[in-house]
Amino acid sequence: MNRISHWIDGNVVASTSGNTAPVYDPATGEQSGTVDLASVAEVDMAVATAKAAFPEWRSTSLSRRAEILFRLRELVDANRKEIARLLTAEHGKVLSDSLGEVARGLENIEFACGIPQLIKGEYSEQASSGVDVYSIRQPLGVVAGITPFNFPAMVPMWMFANALACGNTFVLKPSEKDPSVNMFVAELLAKAGMPAGVFNVVQGDKVAVDRLLEHDDIAAVSFVGSTPIAQYIYETGTKHGKRVQALGGAKNHMLVLNDADLDMAADAAVSAAYGSAGERCMAVSVVLAADEIADDLVSKVAERIPSIKVGAGYDDGNEMGPLITGEHRDKVKGYIDGAADSGATVVVDGREGLPAEGYFVNPTLLDRVEPGMACYDDEIFGPVLSVKRVSGYQDGLDTINASPYANGTAIFTRDGGAARQFQFDVQVGMVGINVPVPVPVSYYSFGGWKASLFGDTHMYGPEGINFYTQGKVITSRWPDPATSSVNLGFPETR
């Protein structure tokens, strides 16, 4: 059976903790591997390695860092299929979706290739007589990334590409549910010329996470995962003096107004709700349908569902794979049970027609869902789309703004004025206008508001560069010795 270990100081390092976790093929439910779970001593070893590698890496020229990232870009590009294959085998998502994930991750490496331009400071000549003032941005030191199961390749790339480009060294703690892909990425980094110790992977669970959060030599933590853990990471990490950005869960609403193109809206809702079996933090999980068009829209969504091909992610032609674990499948089914009991209408029931093996739930459509029902209030993270009927724009907007989550949202309309008003009014971090999954491109930054983000810096893009660097301002004078004199007054600029 495949054993997945750590990557420390440029080598695969087997754990001696004695703790492991099983890794499954979610399409069959069979165990495909075993992942090592780090002890505190193993985390310490990875951090010590990263700390030792920092002085040389931060002194490495910007053009050399960019060169390594350009090479990494080529290697990831050339190995897209292999990364996608590893990802599908343990996550379950279909290969085309895995390839999409790799492509969006790659964008972040491409962004980081521009580091010489991105990290430029500012310079003010003659801020005072003979005095120049300038700012520079410097790396933080050893930074850690803790990542979720649902984007095992892309989310680490959101973090390490910019962190390394800025001159930090990195310790990644990936999800223990699909750990293989980052061992392969670590090899690619080494092949690209990244010095040993600059990028390390520790496999593990809460023991490893807690050690990273309290370790004196970790300067900053980037986290992506569920809201309760994001809050815990933020509170614990900041208590230990670290800079923390912790992205949490989501419940994304798509508001469909009366004037929307209903076929386009139905296509978008189906794609965004059932893509990756709903295991995306930017999935649409609630459609807010204006009363006048709600019946039509529900029919249009329902009639599209039977043609979605559900099956193993690695079999060509399938469009939706299984969920990550048997436990998660049972939880998702529980929400469908609860929806029926609490008065929602189960229009398409994904509990029916399931294969005998694997962690599948079929696409499910619930209508007449209301706040207060668990299927509305909670993040289900499965292929379950709820429809709540609203009287119009204001009712829809109020519903979205009342949600504790605020990751993504979308409006579907032909009315430019309504769309612009929505962009102005809505209390959500990422907004789509006739775009259902508005994940920002890598040269903007990604992040929600409210319970979808703890901390004040969004991830990747320009905010990523800020997060992984600290500013320094230098006030400099190279005086003519002939003009030097004693002056006890407070320095003035005029």
What residues make contact with ligand NAD under the rule CB under 6 A?
146-151, 173, 175-176, 205-206, 209, 224-226, 229, 247-250, 281, 379, 381, 407, 448, 452
Name which of 98 and 175 has its Cβ closer to ligand NAD. 175
List alpha helices for 240-372, DSSP H. 262-274, 291-304, 326-341
Element (H, E) at 464: helix 461-467
How many Å apart are CA 217 and CA 170, to the nearest integer?
11
How many Å apart are CA 270 and CA 273, to the nearest integer?
5
DSSP β-bridge partners for residue 12: 7
Q: In the complex, what is the shortest distance from the CB of residue 186 to ligand NAD, in angstroms, rounded to a whole number? A: 16
The residue whose Cβ lies closest to ligand NAD is 225
* Amino acid letter for position 188: L
How many Å apart are CA 5 and CA 208, to the nearest integer?
13
Q: In the complex, what is the shortest distance from the CB of residue 76 to ligand NAD, in angstroms, rounded to a whole number? A: 20
* HSE-up (13 A, CA, CB side) for residue 75: 17
Q: In the complex, what is the shortest distance from the CB of residue 447 to ligand NAD, in angstroms, rounded to a whole number? A: 7
In terms of Cα–Cα distance, which of 389, 392, 353, 351 is closest to 370? 389
Name which of 42 and 367 has its Cβ closer to ligand NAD. 42
Q: In the complex, what is the shortest distance from the CB of residue 8 to ligand NAD, in angstroms, rounded to a whole number? A: 18
Place of tokens 């990644």: 172
Name which of 20 and 60 has its Cβ closer to ligand NAD. 20
Active site residue 281: yes
Name which of 144 and 260 has its Cβ closer to ligand NAD. 144
Q: In the complex, what is the shortest distance from the CB of residue 430 to ligand NAD, in angstroms, rounded to a whole number? A: 9
Pairing of strands 469-477, 453-454: unpaired
Name which of 389 and 458 has its Cβ closer to ligand NAD. 458
How many Å apart are CA 92 and CA 94, to the nearest integer?
6
Range 230-256 burial, b when 16+ CB lie within 10 A, else e: bebbbebbbeeebbbbbbbbbbbbbbb
Place of tokens 């090899």: 187
Name which of 139 and 383 has its Cβ closer to ligand NAD. 383
Element (H, E) at 238: helix 227-239
Please say whether the beta carbons of 188 and 74 come within 8 A: no
How many Å apart are CA 218 and CA 347, to the nearest integer?
50
Please say whether the beta carbons of 32 and 312 come within 8 A: no
Angle between helices 95-112 and 62-78 (to 10 degrees): 170
Q: In the complex, what is the shortest distance from the CB of residue 331 to ligand NAD, in angstroms, rounded to a whole number? A: 11
Q: What is the DSSP letter of 439?
A: P
* HSE-up (13 A, CA, CB side) for residue 361: 34
Q: In the complex, what is the shortest distance from the CB of residue 460 to ligand NAD, in angstroms, rounded to a whole number? A: 10
Q: In the complex, what is the shortest distance from the CB of residue 147 to ligand NAD, in angstroms, rounded to a whole number? A: 6
Name which of 300 and 331 has its Cβ closer to ligand NAD. 331
Name which of 412 and 454 has its Cβ closer to ligand NAD. 454
How many Å apart are CA 271 and CA 226, to the nearest integer?
22
How many Å apart are CA 54 and CA 68, to the nearest integer?
16
Q: How far is CA 185 from CA 84, 152, 157, 201, 396, in A?
A: 11, 11, 9, 10, 43
Name which of 51 and 280 has its Cβ closer to ligand NAD. 280
Catalytic residue among 113, 166, 281, 375: 281
- Catalytic machinery residues: 281
